[in-house]
Amino acid sequence: MSLSAWKYRITILCISFLLFGCAYYNTLYNANRYFREGEKAQKGASATNRQSAGSAQYESAIKKASKVLTFYPKSKWADDALFLIGRAYFNMGEDVKAKRKFEELTQSFPKSKFIDDSRYYISMCQYNLGEEDEAISSLSELLDSKKTDKKRKGQASFWIGEMQFKKEEYEDAITNYEKTLNEFDPDTLSAVTQFRIGECFLAKKDYLKAQEAFAQVEKRDPSKDLLFDSKFKVGECCYWLSEYQKGMDIYVALSQDKKFSSKLADVSLKMAEGYNFLDELSLAMRWYTQVTETYPRTEASANAYFQLGRIYQEKFGDLAEAKKMFETCKSENANSPIAKEALTRSANISKIEEYQKDLSQEDSTKSSITLFLLAELYLLQMNQPDSALDEYMTLVEKFPQSEYAPKSLYAAAWIWENVKKDSLEAEKIYRRILSEYPQSEYGKIALKFLSETGSIGYAQPDSSDTLNPEKIYRQSERLLFEENDVYSALTLYDLIIEKFPRSPYAAKSLYAKAWTTEHFLNPEDSSVILAYKDVIDKYPDSQYAQDAKIKLGLAQKAQPPPPPPPQTTPALADTADTTQTAAADTSGPLFPKAPDPPLKRGVFVYPEEERLSGIKGTVVLKIQIGFDGLVKEAEVVNSLGNLWIDEAAKKAALNTTFDTQKMDPTALGGWFLYPVEVKSPDEQPADHNADPTQQQGQ
């Protein structure tokens, strides 16, 4: 072959390679062009349409890039094509497909310049798919990598903070947000990150630090919307800190800034709120009215009508006008979140009017329950504790013989203790319960409160009495044998056992408690057996453990044991075999059943020491449900004959919460029967922290 022929062939080959190279480069170039057009379309779209915007351009980009992978899989631009496809799917919200492409890139091209970027996007896909723990782990690896640049580390740290914020782990979130600002390059995330720090402090109710954090946003070149939001939040923090005038000044400045003119409705609502805080009600109402006239049929006007209703109801007591405002609110903007609450308030006012009408008819047989229901309505549904207090105390003064009188006093004491945080006023009410209604079930609650606060005053003991188990024990005997106050005596026994566990009077009190239960309460279940067994288990070397064994027939009676009370006691008849685990007897005190299902069901955790026993069945307890829906006390009524199982069931009951709005208000504060199902360890759910109520979709 001649030299000229060789030159011709080489020229043809070079042209061919050049043409092929240009072909797949041009294909990738066009893919990138379509991708940029998709980004541009998304950037200009509204928030609601942003994800769907640009989808046609992204699809074209994916098709072009896929051709590179199909026809030129080993080209130097194959990883570029894969990365572009992954990003296109990610921007379209196709997280599963995007994640698959990024993972393909990391596996097929481990030395690609896109490795860190792909790992970052994999983390974002995991987050969007609800795989938050995996996402945090992936982002943490990026933070630890020396190869990751500061900009990408800043993004990783920020998103770890976002996930922790979502999980309400605010301290950890603040740590990562601050790391984003101080250690890495936050790029465009600087202002957003600073704003998030403020939101964390706000969620923690640390209003001073939140105020400081929001004020720093302005220094980090925020967008117009973020600048407004940060200033708005600073004003809210001022209100939370009772700096009302300072907050008002911020909102006045915002109202005069023309670049925030589109936000004027929200600012006007806050200015009206400030006047309300300053007790300038006429100005507050004028501003709210102005909002209703300037922005009709909007969420802002609905909020204004709602706040006007609150002023008429809570400040002026004008229920008719308040009801009118609430009804206007719900019709002003049916989609407003406040509309539902307005509807509830309107319905509550209708109930109040109905109750007041009933009371005006002076039917004494119904008046006490009507007053009680009215008080419950104020407390539980309208969040007006002062009005509730008035109605509770009116009931007590007008109908002292009513069954609702001691319950009303207890509710009043609960308000003073838990809502108003005034333990001295609560103590006065509890003393009145002990004085006027000592035999009621609330007498025991009152005694417990006074015992725990060191305020027991039956015989006006000196201050050292509450530190002397011997004196407390003598007082419990007097209550039991002289005043026949069984529950108060039992409460004092419990006080000794809890406060002085190493005192000789602890074992004596535990035995006395079992003896009192046997002879004064005479329960028709195994609680007496368990009470004596408790003495044996907790104080095995004491004389009372031996006495308890004799009671249970586990030891011979050498001589008559000296019982703690100064009376001769008959032996316990027909002791049961405590190792039996027959199905629980559901007979017992005639209490109503607790509402089923509860709002949140406490989880039964099988005791480790009893796992080999395989005991299963149902433990029935007597629980007291408070006015806040929490279980205040729990006592085993029907046992499975195993102390540890019973205690675990009791703990589950105490961790249960009920929805008070679905309960009869007259029953709140009372006792209910509540069953706890005991499953063998093999049947127990793997996650003891799971909420079975939630698993059932409730």
Domain of 54: which CATH number? 1.25.40.10
- Whether 631 is in a domain gets the answer yes
CA distances, 146 to each of 90, 122, 614 (Å): 26, 19, 53
Mean pLDDT computed over every residue of the chain: 82
Average pLDDT (387-403) is 90
Whether 12 has a pLDDT exceeding 90, the answer reads no
CB 336 within 8 A of CB 300: no
pLDDT of residue 655: 94
Question: Are 97 and 230 within one domain?
Answer: yes
Query: 40-74, pLDDT tens digit by residue?
Result: 888 877 766 767 778 889 999 899 889 888 887 77
Question: CATH number, domain at 554?
Answer: 1.25.40
- Identify which has the larger pLDDT, 696 or 97: 97
Question: Are 535 and 651 within one domain?
Answer: no
Question: Are 32 and 151 within one domain?
Answer: yes
Determine the 3-state secondary structure of 184 from DSSP. Answer: coil
Strand partners, 618: 677
- Whether 627 is in a domain gets the answer yes
Average pLDDT (203-219) is 95
CA distance 575 to 556: 14
- Split at pLDDT 50, 70, 90, the class of 22 is low
Query: 331-341, pLDDT tens digit by residue?
Result: 888 888 888 88
Q: What is the distance of C-alpha 117 from the center of its chain?
A: 37
Whether 417 has a pLDDT exceeding 70, the answer reads yes
Q: How many CB atoms are located within 10 Å of the residue 598 CB?
A: 20
Whether 100 has a pLDDT exceeding 50, the answer reads yes
Question: CATH number, domain at 671?
Answer: 3.30.1150.10
Question: Are 134 and 8 within one domain?
Answer: yes
Q: Given strand 631-638, what is the order of strands in its sheet?
A: 631-638, 617-625, 671-678
- Whether 589 is in a domain gets the answer no
Average pLDDT (594-607) is 90
- 655-668 CB burial, b ≥16 within 10 A, e <16: bbbbebeebebebb
- 314-353 CB burial, b ≥16 within 10 A, e <16: eeeeebeebbbbbbbbbebbeebebbeebbebbebbeebe
- Split at pLDDT 50, 70, 90, the class of 440 is confident
For the chain, how many structural domains are there in total?
Answer: 3
- How buried is 401 (Cβ within 10 angstroms: 0-12 exposed, 13-18 middle, 19+ buried)? exposed
Of residues 624, 626, 634, the one with CA closest to residue 665? 626
Average pLDDT (581-608) is 70
Which residue's structure tokens are 């929805």? 659
CA distance 158 to 178: 9
What are the tokens at 570? 């008959």
**Would the pTM of this model clear 0.85, i.e. be above it?**
no
Question: Are 619 and 572 within one domain?
Answer: no
Question: Are 573 and 613 within one domain?
Answer: no
- How buried is 471 (Cβ within 10 angstroms: 0-12 exposed, 13-18 middle, 19+ buried)? middle
- Whether 275 is in a domain gets the answer yes
CB 469 within 8 A of CB 496: yes
Whether 506 has a pLDDT exceeding 70, the answer reads yes
- Whether 325 is in a domain gets the answer no
Provide the sign of the torsion angle of the four alpha carbons 196, 197, 201, 207, taken in this order.
negative
- Whether 322 is in a domain gets the answer no
Which residues fall within 8 angstroms of residue 158, CB to CB, at 6 or more apart? 176, 177, 180, 186, 189, 192, 193
Question: Are 59 and 177 within one domain?
Answer: yes
Q: How many CB atoms are located within 10 Å of the residue 309 CB?
A: 26
Question: Are 668 and 547 within one domain?
Answer: no
- Split at pLDDT 50, 70, 90, the class of 587 is very low
Whether 21 has a pLDDT exceeding 60, the answer reads no
Dihedral class, residue 647 (left if φ above 0, else alpha if ψ from -120 to 50, else beta): alpha
CA distance 328 to 320: 13
Whether 4 has a pLDDT exceeding 60, the answer reads no
Query: 272-298, pLDDT tens digit by residue?
Result: 999 999 999 999 999 999 999 999 999
Last residue of a domain, one of 233, 257, 282: 282
Question: Are 68 and 22 within one domain?
Answer: yes
Query: 234-270, pLDDT tens digit by residue?
Result: 999 999 999 999 999 999 999 999 999 999 999 999 9
- Identify which has the larger pLDDT, 473 or 105: 105
Residue 507 belongs to what domain range? Answer: 456-578
Whether 451 has a pLDDT exceeding 90, the answer reads no
Question: Are 47 and 154 within one domain?
Answer: yes
Last residue of a domain, one of 247, 282, 317: 282
675 φ, ψ to 5°?
Answer: -90, 140
CA distance 379 to 389: 8
Q: How many CB atoms are located within 10 Å of the residue 258 CB?
A: 5
Question: Are 197 and 116 within one domain?
Answer: yes
Last residue of a domain, one of 282, 305, 323: 282
- Identify which has the larger pLDDT, 457 or 632: 632
Whether 381 has a pLDDT exceeding 70, the answer reads yes
The three-point CA angle 183-187-188 to 5° equals 135
Question: Are 573 and 679 within one domain?
Answer: no
- Split at pLDDT 50, 70, 90, the class of 19 is very low
Which residues fall within 8 angstroms of residue 213, CB to CB, at 6 or more apart? 194, 195, 197, 198, 201
- Identify which has the larger pLDDT, 192 or 362: 192
Please, what is the end-to-end C-alpha distance for the chain in angstroms? 88
H-only helix segments in 377-519: 385-398, 404-414, 423-436, 441-452, 469-481, 486-499, 504-516
- Split at pLDDT 50, 70, 90, the class of 173 is very high
Least confident of 164-173, 196-205, 261-270, 491-500: 491-500
pLDDT of residue 444: 78
pLDDT of residue 586: 36
Amino acid (one-letter) located at 446: A
- Whether 237 is in a domain gets the answer yes
- Identify which has the larger pLDDT, 298 or 188: 298
- Whether 420 is in a domain gets the answer no
- Identify which has the larger pLDDT, 603 or 579: 603
Average pLDDT (510-539) is 80
Which residues fall within 8 angstroms of residue 351, CB to CB, at 6 or more apart? 377
Least confident of 1-5, 221-225, 309-313, 609-613: 1-5
620 φ, ψ to 5°?
Answer: -100, 130
| Highest mean pLDDT: which range of 25-39, 404-418, 671-685 | 404-418
